[in-house]
A and B are shown apart, each in its own frame.
Chain A
Amino acid sequence: MQLCRVEGTVISTRKHPSFNGWRFLICQPLDCDGRADGIPVVALDSLGAGIHQKVVVTSDGLAARRAVGDDLSPARMMTIAIVDEAEKEISRSEGATTA
């Protein structure tokens, strides 16, 4: 699973029928310091995550197919949690010395 920040939404009318009624959120994966890291992905959202909120995105297709209720759906990325706070115990420099 990936810690991401919601940075946008996507509007699509012509899509796989199993996605009807689902929100698409543009989620930017974050590194351990909370900075943008990598390419944004579009995830299905049923939790109502707001813009710039941190979410946890899973790429488990089985859970996504069950959530959309269609075994023949190509659903894959999905938000499964909205993050209140993500504390990091080991800072980057400290982590480097112990590893």
Chain B
Amino acid sequence: MKLGKVIGRVTLSVATPGLEGARWLLVSPFSRGNYLDSMAGEKQLSAEPTPVVYDNLGGGVHDIIGYIEGREAASPFVTPPPIDAINAALIDKFFYTPSESE
């Protein structure tokens, strides 16, 4: 699971069958800096590509979510849809204490 900050939402007009009415979040993936900076409250968008994440937990903008990428993203469905990123957890809090020692 990777952490990311929700920066927007996506509404689909035409979608492949099985994806209608789904909720999609635009997520800025956490870089290592985000883990550290978020502790200090200063936030900046990551330079990485912005994934569109399927969401059924109700993540909103400014939330920090845990999303899972890859084939496992389609496993919580009886008939797996063609998605590869799903919101698996709304993060309440995280504690990040990197050890700079070897």
Q: How far is the CB of B63 from chain A (nearest CB, A)?
A: 10
Residue tally, chain B, CB below 8 Å to A: 34
| CB-defined contacts of A28 to chain B, threshold 8 Å | 32, 98
**Per-residue A-contact encoding for B51-76, CB less than 8 Å = 1, 0 else:** 00000011000000010101111011
Q: Is the Cβ of A12 less than 8 Å from the Cβ of B76?
A: no
Instruction: Name the CB-closest residue of B to A38.
Output: B32
Residue tally, chain A, CB below 8 Å to B: 38
Query: Within the assembled complex, what's the spacing in Å between the Cα atoms of A21 and B65?
Result: 18
Q: How far is the CB of A79 from chain B (nearest CB, A)?
A: 12
Given contacts A16-B89, A19-B89, A77-B1, contact A36 B98 (CB under 8 A): yes
| CB-defined contacts of B1 to chain A, threshold 8 Å | 24, 41-44, 76-77
Query: Within the assembled complex, what's the spacing in Å between the Cα atoms of A8 and B30?
Result: 14
Known: A13-B90, A16-B89, A41-B1. 4 other contacts (CB 8 A): A8-B95, A24-B89, A42-B66, A65-B72
Q: Can you name 10 A-B residue pairings with CB atoms under 8 Å?
A: A7-B97, A9-B95, A11-B94, A12-B66, A14-B90, A24-B66, A28-B32, A40-B35, A51-B97, A76-B70
